[in-house]
Copies of this chain bind each other. A is one copy, B any other.
Amino acid sequence: MSLKYVFRKMLPNCDNIPVTGDLDSELDFLEQIPETLEDCFKILSTEARDLYLSRTVPILDHPPTPLQFYRDYVSYNRPVLIRSAVSHWPALDLWRTNEYFRRELGSTEVTVAVTPNGLADSPVGDRFVLPEERRMKFSKFLDILENPESEPGIFYIQKQNSNLTQELPQLVEQVPELSWASQAFGKSPDAVNFWLGDKRAVTSMHKDPYENIYTVIRGYKDILLHPPTDLPWIPYRQFTQAVYKSSQDKTFSIQDIEGGETVPWICIDPLNPDLNSYPEYFNTTPIKVRVYAGETLYLPSLWFHHLSQSQGCVSVNYWYDMEFDIKYNYFNLIKNIKQLDKQNKC
């Protein structure tokens, strides 16, 4: 008879007592008696850390089977870094320099996000500012990337409308769908995005309703992650929507989007958090990971993430629709309670 039975027997009717191997830590949880809603949220985020997350992203040397992947990472909703998942991708070799893009796609038009500061889709003051979107030949974009001083602004191919299949379909066969991922999710990807840009371009912290298979092809990406259980501590504000516009003299201004509703966005920079304004952010569990060329990150749905990168970093990510399951359902509960709490309604 295992310890579990003893434990179960001791408390036969505490039907909600967790029965794991590690009785001590379980008993620790039992001793945490929350006095406030804040305490409840603190238990949520510390329990996540103690029970099933680690401070660093776990690493697999080889791709998991679809079942292992789904069971150990997707269902748990925790990230994993996979080495050698894409060693068969022609892109790893072909895209090592800009030469290939220039030769094969130089005259292809691409959509480029242009900002004065690298902040596309980001809060700036009390505005949420979209980038200026410019259509240009791929060769022109590469010229600017290689000589950043030649043109005002920071340039980043980052349009998340499945821009790989929409704008650069010639490249698709060089980054073929990863079968263990598609088999695990039981569906085809909803979007495949291509990312190439300046090291000064960052992606502000946000989350997506997608399971994300994110592969770096050249350079590296620095990704800062927060689990969904950190939601109570991540500050949001309402922002007026605006967009960057460059004038003929190539200076940038911010133009409000007329009739645009305000939108909620995360108002803290996780790389330089303003803890005076947002002391509750101190309760979070940031997890940092650098993804190098040839590595693939599984970035689970509803995880907050902030991205920065090396100069000329090239990445491709596959987005699979997330399941609107009990995890999503629970997450919405936290969002709703947090909203109430802010209004001091509970």
Chain A residues at the B interface, C-beta cutoff of 8 Å: 1-2, 4-5, 9, 11-20, 29, 34-37, 39-41, 43-44, 47-48, 51-52, 66-68, 70-72, 74-78, 121, 128, 130, 161-162, 166, 183-186, 190-191, 206-209, 227-229, 239, 241, 263-266, 321, 323-337, 339-340, 345-346
A183 to B65, alpha carbons, bound, how many Å? 12
**What's the minimum C-beta distance from A45 to chain B, rounded to whole angstroms?**
9
Cβ A34 vs Cβ B336 within 8 A: yes
Give the distance in Å from the alpha carbon of A321 to the alpha carbon of B8 in the complex.
13
| 11 A-B pairs (CB sep. < 8 Å) | A9-B161, A12-B263, A13-B263, A13-B265, A15-B266, A18-B328, A34-B340, A39-B336, A51-B324, A71-B75, A227-B326
Most buried by B among A162, A206, A335, A337: A337
Task: Report copies per complex.
Answer: 2
Verify B70–A71 contact, CB threshold 8 A: yes
Contact residues in B for A329 (Cβ distance below 8 Å): 44, 47-48, 51-52, 229
User: B330 contacts A330, CB within 8 Å?
Assistant: yes
Residue pair A337, B337 in contact (C-beta under 8 Å): yes
Interface centre among A16, A70, A190 (most CB of B within 10 A): A16
| Cβ contact within 8 Å between B321 and A128 | no
- Whether A337 contacts B40 in the complex (CB less than 8 A), given A16-B264, A76-B325, A264-B14, comes out as yes
